[in-house]
Structure 1
Amino acid sequence: MVPVFSYDQLRRWPDVEAENLYAVNATDRLIIDEAAGAVRTAPHAVVVIGDRYGALTLGAAALNGATGIRVHQDPLSGELALANNAALTGLVGSYAHQPLDADLVRGGRVVLVQLPKSLAELQEIAETVAAHADPAVVVYAGGRVKHMTPAMNDVLRRCFTEVSATLARQKSRVLVARGARPGIEPTFPRRQRHDDLAIEVCAHGAAFGGTKIALGTRFLLGFLDQMNPGADAAVDLGCGTGVLAVG
């Protein structure tokens, strides 16, 4: 007997769980609903980027028939939550994790995205999709209205000829982008040389601080000479690009 899928089955684990914290939100549901027709037309060419806990991936599989979904999630907690929820819903094997690169989107016809707050992260996603996905690809990028800005539309328009917005529902909205512009060249990872520290910083769009060196990081770098010179391992907590570890 095929299990009946319900968003209520999904958990946030291993992320923090509480009665007022949920593994699915209105944005997940709206993206799945808006993309339903496109997913059913190309069920073998679906890509999911930024899924929080698996609602997009598992919703596309269970409700719209997607198979072989390619998924990119930056946080490890998201990957673990998706794996756990796939087991809970009987959908193990419906997806595969991949890094954010050409292979993730190659041949993709439908891309479902939870809009990141960082414009640089959105730009890297848009460039990757426009450069390497099927020319007929359609992107459904959703977010909470209070976190969405006109600048997000501008980022998408640099990579796609058509960008429109759906009607809002439960304080969420979806941006729909199609018509990948020819000749898009991915600009990530980016690099910046900091001669005063003799360090070149490389950063993908999702990296906190990008190629800059934050004031707090600069402050901590001043204590490197007080650290154990014989240490052969370093734990760098909270520095998005690993500057402290390589310093």
Structure 2
Amino acid sequence: MSVESHPSGADPQTPTGETPLALTRRARRMSRVLHEHYPDARCELDFADAYQLLVATVLSAQTTDVRVNGVTPTLFARYPDARALAAADRTEVETIIQPTGFFRAKTESLLKLGAALVERFGGQVPGRLSDLVTLPGVGRKTANVVLGNAFDVPGITVDTHLGRVARRFGWTDETDPVAVEHAVGALFPRRDWTQLSHVLIFHGRRICHARKPACGACPVARLCPSYGEGETDPAAAARLVRTGPRA
């Protein structure tokens, strides 16, 4: 990949040695290609409102969206709002969410979350980042998922996929999720942040895998400084591509 470099001796302050302007231009070109490649990119958690999305996102820690979607219909039928969740039977919740893993810790978080929503926000999910991150079990990643998809408030959702993809793309060399969020956000207009997150997460789940990326099947291979880290043979790479959410 060719880059527009700084003059010798200058500090480029970009992971690839590109000028900041060149990095921004390349990042936006990659984004356009990925948006075309993943026109159906979206939040893969099933939800009907902000409460359901918040609970589902808390449950999604260290498991797959498919497993979460398998338990939430029962959970929401039994506990349709924060007040019901705050008064929930611990054992019953544990039984319902057990397939998602770490079910005892997650049950504790959900019961505390329901109580906090009732006590501090009248049973409603707040629509501000500063409020959301004060809730039990809710960090910036969860808050940005809820804000972007339930309130249409733009945000960068830094999960393991987005962080990995952004570093491979040379958009940042940061490993701290908050630093990644700010670095990626600085490359794009704020209005684009939520959909960009979906596209990057789709790419990380389907092609740019952690252990063996399918470089030979990547739509942005020619723009990626990490091309060659994974399988470059087109036929072999095509066999590595996932076509849907992981169960």
TM-score by length of 2: 0.25
TM-score by length of 1: 0.25
More relative contact order in 1 or in 2 (CA 8 Å, sep 6+)?
2
